[in-house]
Amino acid sequence: CGIFGVIGVQDASTFVALGLHALQHRGQEAGGIVSHAPETGFNQARRFGYVRDNFTSQKIMETLPGPISIGHVRYSTSGSKGQTAIRDVQPFFGEFSMGGAAIAHNGNITNANALRRELIERGSIFQSSSDSECIIHLMARSMGRSIPDRMEEALRKVEGAFSVVAMTRTKLIGVRDPLGVRPLVLGKIGDGWALSSETCALDIIGAEFVREIRPGEMVVINGNGVQSHFPFRPQPSRFCIFEHVYFSRPDSILGGRSVYETRENIGRELAKESPVDADLVCPVPDSGTPAAIGYSLQSGIPYAMGIIRNQYMGRTFIEPTEQIRNMGVRLKLNVNRALIKDKRVILVDDSVVRGTTSRKIKEMILDAGAKEVHFRIASPPTAWPCFYGVDTPQREKLLAATMSEEEMRAHLEVDSLKFISLDGLYRAVGETQGRSKDCPQYCDACFSGEYPVKPADMVEQGFVM
């Protein structure tokens, strides 16, 4: 998901709408915005679909006045998967003795089922099926004297991955979980401030990137500026390495590094680790593009747009049902026939999950008359599901969970298939020594199976780590 918040500017919600539009790649199912104005109190709008279709008209933006606003774009990783109900669309709102608060959450709470059971037993009335709603109920039960105090107390009970943007009548609040799994950055806009999942959204509203919120940090922003706390037990950080590979936009800065450059580095590492003689390097657009450029630069094999993407389709993976996903590939990607005919082609993509994309693309490329097809993948085999906010399917559906690299190659019927090594990926993100075995610098559980936070709900349901 994508989260964004603004305080201290007129019509804050219009900036939030623009910010969410720039974060649309993080969630396309639905979006919501909350604002507060002294005259109207809290206002809220939640809609299915794209930000550009819902939050651009004057009619709706007029209903969201005031100098404080937060918003969320949703990609369902928990809750009613497939058919998101409007009640699962964030931000969530709660009234407390000291006033109202709205929260928007990116990530996944790994002990949400246990928390929900306990809260319901003690009288909480849940409105949604979302894991994030637990935070509101935990806040309601807290005896803390201010909303930030209550949030701190609530979040200390929550396990898993969370970046949170929240607001009260007068404050904008940002928090990252102790491991810092999901991103969150601080920006300055005029006399006000912004919080965003990614820096690309600061750019489009003309905000200046100040810094990342640190893992385990809570910032409380009001008219007096930014106050920082560290409410959790300090731990070594474990940022999601897949943000670098796929999830974040290439024009964002993560951990002081350009995502684009990192992806180009991944392509270079791939070319060093797994060279092959061929005529063309083609990306599977758009997610494979920077890595394909890197592969081409490193290998000297010409880069070409052998597959053309229809710009009006969203990210296929994010459409939740299998049927839509299957159609999606063909609706979204088409082979540039004239270019491909009689060529030996290297195809670069960011990941292989179920193998749907790769299989379809290989068929299309062979149909177009390619002589050879070589896949190069910018991440290690995805053999484990993510429980921290990226919607990978159950383990059984992951190609790499049951097949070796050679078995996957045979299954996809391609001439070669190579994934970047885990160490190669770490080198590409700037860890020159590769991955530290004792304490990996990132979360890489979907590749390594080493989960930095025990996924308690899943283990309870029988998941074997």
Tell me whether residue 446 is annotated as binding. yes
- Residue 160 vs 285, nearer CB to ligand SF4: 160
- Residue 298 vs 392, nearer CB to ligand SF4: 392
Our finding on whether 390 is near ligand SF4 (CB under 6 A) is yes
Q: Which of 401, 448, 404 is nearest to 423 (CA)?
A: 448
Residues that contact ligand SF4, how many (by CB under 6 A) = 11
CA 92/CA 78 separation, integer angstroms: 15
Beta bridge partners of 452: none
Residue with tokens 């990132």: 442
443 binds, among ligand SF4, ligand 5GP, Mg ion, none (CB under 5 to 8 A by kind): ligand SF4
Q: Which of residues 121-140 bind ligand 5GP (CB under 6 A)?
A: none
315 binds, among ligand SF4, Mg ion, ligand 5GP, none (CB under 5 to 8 A by kind): ligand 5GP
Minimum separation from the CB atom of position 236 to ligand 5GP (A): 25
H or E element, residue 272: helix 259-273
354 binds, among ligand 5GP, ligand SF4, Mg ion, none (CB under 5 to 8 A by kind): ligand 5GP
DSSP letter, residue 360 = H
Residue 419 phi, psi (nearest 5) = -105, 150
- Residue 111 vs 287, nearer CB to Mg ion: 287
Our finding on whether 266 is near ligand SF4 (CB under 6 A) is no
**Cβ proximity of 193 and 187 under 8 Å:** yes
Q: Which of residues 162-221 bind ligand SF4 (CB under 6 A)?
A: 181
User: What's the burial of 292, exposed, middle or buried (CB within 10 Å: 0-12/13-18/19+)?
Assistant: buried
Share of the chain residues as helix, strand and coil, in percent rounded to the nearest 5? 35, 25, 40
CA 283/CA 306 separation, integer angstroms: 7
Our finding on whether 287 is near Mg ion (CB under 5 A) is yes
Minimum separation from the CB atom of position 350 to Mg ion (A): 6
Residue with tokens 């305080």: 7
> Residue-wise over 8-17: b if at least 16 C-beta within 10 A, else e?
bbebbbbbbb
Binding mask 279-298 for ligand 5GP (x = CB under 6 A): -----x--x-----------
User: Positive or negative CA dihedral for 110, 112, 113, 114?
Assistant: positive
Give yes or no for a cis peptide into 275 (omega within 30° of 0).
no
Our finding on whether 232 is near ligand SF4 (CB under 6 A) is no
Our finding on whether 350 is near ligand SF4 (CB under 6 A) is no
> Could you tell me which residues come within 8 angstroms of residue 219 by beta carbon, excluding any fewer than 6 positions away?
173, 174, 175, 186, 195, 213, 226, 227, 228, 229
Q: 209: helix, coil or strand? A: strand
Q: Which of residues 400-459 bind ligand SF4 (CB under 6 A)?
A: 443-446
Our finding on whether 242 is near ligand SF4 (CB under 6 A) is yes
Q: Catalytic: 134?
A: no
Tell me whether residue 443 is annotated as binding. yes
Out of 45, 179, 333, 352, name the contact with ligand 5GP by CB under 6 A. 352
Minimum separation from the CB atom of position 190 to ligand SF4 (A): 34
Tell me whether residue 444 is annotated as binding. no
Stretch that binds Mg ion, among 46-54, 282-290, 326-334, 419-427 (CB under 5 A): 282-290
- Residue 136 vs 352, nearer CB to ligand 5GP: 352
Helix axes 356-367, 322-332, angle to 10 degrees: 40
Q: Given 1, 134, 200, 282, which residue is catalytic?
A: 1
- Residue 203 vs 350, nearer CB to ligand 5GP: 350
Minimum separation from the CB atom of position 271 to ligand SF4 (A): 23
CA 287/CA 17 separation, integer angstroms: 24
- Interacting residue ranges for ligand 5GP, rule: CB under 6 A: 246, 284, 287, 315, 317-318, 349-358, 382, 390-392
Q: Which residues are catalytic?
A: 1
Applying CB under 6 A, which residues contact ligand SF4? 181, 240-242, 386, 388, 390, 443-446
List binding-site positions for [4Fe-4S] cluster. Answer: 240, 386, 443, 446
